[in-house]
Structure formats: C-alpha cells, structure tokens
Amino acid sequence: MPDPHRVLDGLDPEQQRAVLAPRGPVCVLAGAGTGKTRTITRRIAHLIDSGQVNPGQVLAVTFTTRAAGELRARLRSLGIAGPGNSVQAQTFHAAALRQLRYFWPRGLSWELLDHKLPVVARAADHVGLTTTTESLRDLASEIEWAKGSLIGPADYASRAAAEARDTPFPHDVVARVFDGYETAKRNGSHLLLDFDDLIIYAGELLREPAAATDFRSRYRCFVVDEYQDITPVQQLLLDAWLGERDNLTVVGDANQTIYSFAGATARYLLEFTRRYPDATLVRLERDYRSTPEVVSLANQVIGATAERSPGTRLELIGQRPRGPVPRPAEFADDLREASGVAAQVKHLINAGTAPSEVAVLYRVNAQSERFEEALTGAGIPYQVRGSEAFFTRTEIVQAMRKLAATAERDDLPHDVDATRVVRAVLAPLGLSESEPAGPHAKARWESLRALMSVVDELVADEPGITLQRLVTELTLRAEERHTPGQAGVTLASLHAAKGLEWDAVFLVGLTEGSVPITQAVERGDDAIEEERRLFYVGITRAREHLYLSWSLSRSGAGRATRRRTRFLDGIDLDPRRSGRCTVCGAELVNPESRVRGRCASCRIEGRDEGLMSALRTWRADRARRRGVREGAILTDAMLDAIAEQRPADVGSLVA
Ligand code: ATP
Ligand code: MG
C-alpha cells in the first residue's frame, strides 16, 4: 500500500512544488546539497502514487554506476524499486545496453569493446605515430570527446581547431587515428562497440518506427539526475526516448559541471525552459547537507567566478546548526601532509566519527598513494574509490574472464540462477566459505568477496538477471572503475566524489598545479573555471568537518617550490572574523547580527514562508524609503518573534 505521507514528508515548499508539478516537463536548478536527488525520487513516487504512471514505465538515468546505485537505494526505501514491476534507475550506458540487447537487428552481431587502448594503438601505428601510454590515453579521450559531442572523423580536425583542443598530435593526424579506430571496430557483420557506441547505436535503433513505438509504449516518464553532465550524444538518445512527448524531469547544478573535457555541457539544463516554455521551473537555495560555515566557503569560492552564464548564480543558504570553521593546514612537504591528515583522521575516529563517514579527496588518483601509506601506518581502514587497482587485481581479472566465458556457453540452462553460477566460478579462484589463513590468500578472498557483494547488489536490483547481463554490468563498473564499497575511510578523486556526502571531508594537495591542475592553467580561463567548480564540488561534500591542506614541496626536494591554490586567495575561512554573515557572506551592518553571525535574512530563512515573504517586502520597501541597507532594518526582537513564529508580535513591532 502506498503511504500517502511518504511523498511530501521532510520536503520544503519549493521541493514540494517540484514533486507535485503536473505531468510534463519539470526542471530543478539548484546548488549542491539542496535536495535535488531527494526531490526527484519523491516526484517519481508521487507520479506513481497518484496513478499517473506505473513503476515499470519510469526510466531514471544518471551518469555513474555509483550515482545510479544511490538513486536505486533511495527508490527502494520508498518501496518503488526492487523485485517485480519497478522503476528503472540506471546509468545512460546501462540503459542503452539493455535497449541494444532487446532491439538489435538479426544478422549483425556485436560485442562490447572493454579495452579500447589496444585498438587505438593499432590505429595510431597504422598512421605511423610513435606513442606512449599517456599519448594513447590522450588520443582515446579525444575520440571520446568527439563522439560525445557528435563529431565524426571527417569533421574532427575543423571542430578541434575551433575549440582549440589540446592534443598530443596535430588535429588532422588525430582525425586519421580516429577514422582508423572506427574502421577497426567493424569487421564484416560483426561490430565491436565502445561505450560511446552504446549510446550512439541505442539512439540509431529508435529511428526504426517499430522499435520506437515499442520502446515508447513501454517507457512513459523520464528523469535525469545531474543533468549538467549530459553530452550532446546522450541528449540525442534522450530525445529519441521521448519522441514527441515531454514527460521529463531534469535536475542539475551548472556550478557542478566537471566533465566538459569529455563533452558534457550545462547548455541543455540552462536552456530547458526555452525548449519547453510550459515547464515547471523550480530553484532550490536551502542547503540541507552542510553547516553554514561550509556553505559560506562554498558560496565564496563559486561566487569569485569572474563571469557566469545566466541561471548559474545560486547562493546557498545553510539550514543546519553552526559547526566548526573549515580548517586550513600548511605542511612543509607531502609526506608530512599525509601523516598530518592521517593523525587528524585518527583524532576524529577516536572522538566518535565512524571511518565510513570520513573522506580524503584529491585531484588525481596518483595522489592517493601517500595517504594510503599514512592511513595504513596509523592503522586506519580505508577504501580507494575509482582506482584502477580493484579491477586490475589478478583474481578479479581471472574471475571476470571466467565469468564472461561461462556466460557465452551454449549449454547453459536458460533460467539458470546467476548467483549460484558466479559462486561456482569464484570458488576455485579462492572464494571459500570461511576466511582462509595467510595474508595472500586472505587478500585474494577479500577481493573476491567484494566482487561477490557487487553481484549480490545487482541481483537484488534485478531479480532473475541473466548471467550475460550480470557480466555486462560488471564490465560497465570496471570501465568506470567503480570499486565496491567496503568499510573504512574513503579515498577518492574529486570527480568520483560528486553527489556523495560525508561528515568529515579532507581536501588534500590544494596547491597550484594540482588545483587547478597544470594542464588546465595551460589551456586557459575556461579550463581553470572547471577546476574551480571541481573545488566547489569537493567543499560541498562535507556535512560538518572540512579540512583543507597543502604542502610547500615534494618530500625530499627540500626547497619550497609550491604555493597554495589560488582558489583560496582572498577567502576568509572564518566569516565571523570579518563581520560577514556566516551563511551568505553579506556584510553585517546590524550589531545584533554581528553577535549572532548571521544577517537578518539568513536568520529568518527556513521559517514561516508567508511571514518571511511579507517581511522581505516590508523590509525592502522600508530600506528603500530610508535609503539604508536592508540588513539595518530588522531588530533582534523581531527576529526572535519570527524564529518563534509569533506573527502577532512581529506585526506590532513592525508597526
Ligand atoms: P548534490 O548536488 O551534491 O547532488 P543534491 O541537491 O542532490 O546534492 P541531496 O543529496 O538530495 O542533494 O540532499 C542533500 C542532503 O540533504 C541529503 O542528506 C538529504 O537527505 C538532505 N535533505 C534534502 N532535502 C531535505 C529537507 N527538506 N529536509 C532535511 N534534509 C533534507
Ligand atoms: Mg544529487
């Protein structure tokens, strides 16, 4: 039985407006921690409860398997995902893959290309290039950018020149490698599809009217989380899903666009209401995740952007009680930084913070090593998210090979129980029932168990999942380096942390050259702004404790060669000291406000809505007539009356 209260419970009026908006296009434009993901899951629940769609007709998509997992977990807790007729919440890639398996025409066969570097290498070789692993990776990312941006080999050189792409070889040479790569993937009637092809082909298949009709009668409601990360090719697929319909809810934050190097663009988010003039547009400003101190820093960092596109200016208003001021720490070298951070993590854990509520975030994965060593030294359990390490471990590579081979076998009974097959395959590799003795056997056992936990998760999400699909899902995770969750402190790159939250966050290695990264500085202003957004994403992951650290030299180098990131220049980590509002950073002119650390409007924010808007109007009007700042108008007595919701008293004070 649907619970009529679950849909609106714990939502503010603006969130409720998005949830209850009539069927049709809805856009939620809002900053980090304002409850966008919470809002879309409730909207899905509302559409289902009110009988507007069946759960199975909803397709919710996002961009990483981790984010999709988070979405499914929240939907499950609302009782609308899980066994049976349920909402599909997937990554774009997984949704496309499912569609390909269903609609792929007979007579053509295909398989997923899970390692594209060797194919790129052969294409580069053919063109006569001498390459390194780095330049091959750069070539592969360039191909990814082009395909995500709907650019083919023929147009590549001119578009790359127009966008001043920074490539390891001249643009026309890259175009030839791109062309060779595409050709190499076609072999008669057998195709190799890379991850971008999944999206391209899924869109192509829906040009077939029968397939389009079939698909569109099945899915009637679409939801996209983190819409600022969509690439043009994914938008094309979304358009193919929709056809002429407009039952689409999107949520996003243009200030969190951090994948534009791969073709992602906030353009579609910002132009949504132009495309759908009847859309319900909701802006959320209240930040429910972080303390006002963290919010104030986030506002200052993102507010320092020189230019911004219309629609991206969103000031967050912290809703949580006051917390600790973000703590900066400068170290002589990176070894000292790592051990300083480990000591501080230990301190937090001893004081009662769970290790799983702590994250150490860095700019590039290579930075994790020092921190892993320091945490190990301090006896603190940790897991590295998004590292290549997990999926390249010998036992995991072996396991995946054997699983793939088993899935391809013709003699497999059709309705075989996937979990049992996986267990049977993993047992001889070292997945025993009980923990084995010996450090190596134990490590192997641990990682196979972690793999098994991913399998269990997938089966719980989709009971009756076939072995073939299971293997494909695992491949998708390997491609995204989606390390299975284990207990302990999280180590992750800033990119991998998007959408997540922890009680305590350590942003480490905050030096010029890292944040912003050297390549971005070389590329210019747009790239630097993307680095600023990345820093903002990092700051806004913290609920309560935020530590910012950097070191002045590489250990052993002796001399100080580094300097602190420019993004902290001119920023006051303790806004109270400077007589600024701890929430919005506005100058505090009212002495009472100075004592309380918040400007008048931030102090009444989140209280009685009607009263607040009446007061805002009154205050603005009064301030204008007196020719003074708005902040000078409200007295403390009024604020207390508002906070305690005594409208009559406010009325008499105002009069
Ligand atoms: P991001 O941009 O980082 O993805 P988001 O806008 O999706 O953030 P959520 O993750 O949905 O934000 O919410 C942030 C936190 O605030 C979560 O812990 C969520 O449960 C909580 N939250 C959201 N809305 C409310 C509310 N109205 N009251 C209390 N807590 C809320
Ligand atoms: Mg979110």
Q: What is the DSSP letter of 109?
A: E
Ligand 1 proximity of 38 Cβ (cutoff 6 Å): yes
Report the distance separating Cα 338 and Cα 552, nearest Å: 13
Ligand 1 proximity of 289 Cβ (cutoff 6 Å): yes
CA of 19 to the centre of ligand 2 (A): 15
Give the least confident one: 5-19, 28-42, 468-482, 626-640: 626-640
Q: Hey, which of 62, 257, 288, 501 would you mutate to test ligand 1's pocket, going by the most ligand atoms within 8 Å of its Cβ?
A: 288
Report the distance separating Cα 454 and Cα 259, nearest Å: 26
Ligand 1 proximity of 33 Cβ (cutoff 6 Å): yes
Report the distance separating Cα 354 and Cα 351, nearest Å: 9
Q: Which two tokens stand for residue 433?
A: 């029932």
Q: Looking at residue 417, what is its pLDDT?
A: 84
User: Helix, strand, or coil here: 48?
Assistant: helix
Report the distance separating Cα 338 and Cα 483, nearest Å: 22
CA of 564 to the centre of ligand 2 (A): 29
CA of 37 to the centre of ligand 2 (A): 4
pLDDT digits (tens, 9 = 90+) for 522-571: 888 889 999 999 999 999 999 999 999 999 988 777 677 899 999 999 88
Per the CB < 8 A criterion, the answer to whether 577 and 622 are in contact is no
CA of 220 to the centre of ligand 2 (A): 23
Binding-site sequence positions for ATP? 30-37
Q: Looking at residue 155, what is its pLDDT?
A: 96
- Say how many residues make up the chain: 655
Split at pLDDT 50, 70, 90, the class of 1 is very low
Tokens 């009154």 map to which residue?
618
pLDDT digits (tens, 9 = 90+) for 183-200: 999 888 889 999 899 999
Are β-strands 502-507 and 358-362 bridged in parallel, bridged antiparallel, or unpaired? parallel
Mean pLDDT of the region 392-408: 86
To which H or E segment does residue 108 belong? none
User: Helix, strand, or coil here: 186?
Assistant: strand
Q: Which two tokens stand for residue 474?
A: 């695992």
310: left (phi over 0), alpha (psi -120 to 50) or beta: beta
Q: Which residues lie below 8 Å from residue 1, measured CB to CB, with a gap of 6+?
A: none
Q: Please tell me the number of the ligand nearest to residue 35's CA.
A: 1
Per-residue burial over 83-110, b = 16 or more CB atoms within 10 Å of its CB, e = otherwise: eeebbbbbbbbbbbbbbbeebbeeeeeb
What pTM did the predictor assign?
A: 0.82
Mean pLDDT of the region 597-602: 68
Taking the CA of residue 540 as reference, the ligand 1 atom at the shortest distance is: 3
User: Helix, strand, or coil here: 583?
Assistant: coil
Give the least confident one: 18-32, 306-320, 561-575, 641-655: 641-655
Tokens 């009024």 map to which residue?
638
Report the distance separating Cα 302 and Cα 286, nearest Å: 16
pLDDT digits (tens, 9 = 90+) for 199-254: 999 999 999 999 999 999 999 999 999 999 999 999 999 999 999 999 999 999 99
Q: Looking at residue 640, what is its pLDDT?
A: 54
pLDDT digits (tens, 9 = 90+) for 637-646: 565 555 555 5
Q: Within the chain, what is the greatest distance between any pair of CA atoms?
A: 86
Binding-site sequence positions? 30-37
Ligand 1 proximity of 325 Cβ (cutoff 6 Å): no
Give the least confident one: 112-126, 132-146, 584-598: 584-598
Taking the CA of residue 500 as reference, the ligand 1 atom at the shortest distance is: 3
Number of neighbouring beta carbons within 10 Å of residue 635:
14
CA of 36 to the centre of ligand 2 (A): 5
Cross-strand bridge partners of residue 382: 489
Ligand 1 proximity of 35 Cβ (cutoff 6 Å): yes
Report the distance separating Cα 229 and Cα 495, nearest Å: 12
Ligand 1 proximity of 37 Cβ (cutoff 6 Å): yes
Taking the CA of residue 11 as reference, the ligand 1 atom at the shortest distance is: 27
CA of 486 to the centre of ligand 1 (A): 23
User: Helix, strand, or coil here: 497?
Assistant: helix
Report the distance separating Cα 639 and Cα 655, nearest Å: 15
Report the distance separating Cα 431 and Cα 447, nearest Å: 9
Per-residue burial over 56-82, b = 16 or more CB atoms within 10 Å of its CB, e = otherwise: ebbbbbbbbbbbbbbbbebbbebebbb
Residue 108: what residue type?
A: L
Q: Hey, which of 17, 37, 229 would you mutate to test ligand 1's pocket, going by the most ligand atoms within 8 Å of its Cβ?
A: 37
Q: Please tell me the number of the ligand nearest to residue 498's CA.
A: 1
Residue minimizing CA distance to atom 24 of ligand 1: 35
Ligand 1 proximity of 34 Cβ (cutoff 6 Å): yes
Taking the CA of residue 284 as reference, the ligand 1 atom at the shortest distance is: 6
Ligand 1 proximity of 276 Cβ (cutoff 6 Å): no
Sign of the Cα torsion 71, 74, 76, 81 reads: negative
Residue 287: what residue type?
A: D
Residue minimizing CA distance to atom 17 of ligand 1: 289
Split at pLDDT 50, 70, 90, the class of 386 is low
CA of 31 to the centre of ligand 2 (A): 9
CA of 129 to the centre of ligand 2 (A): 43
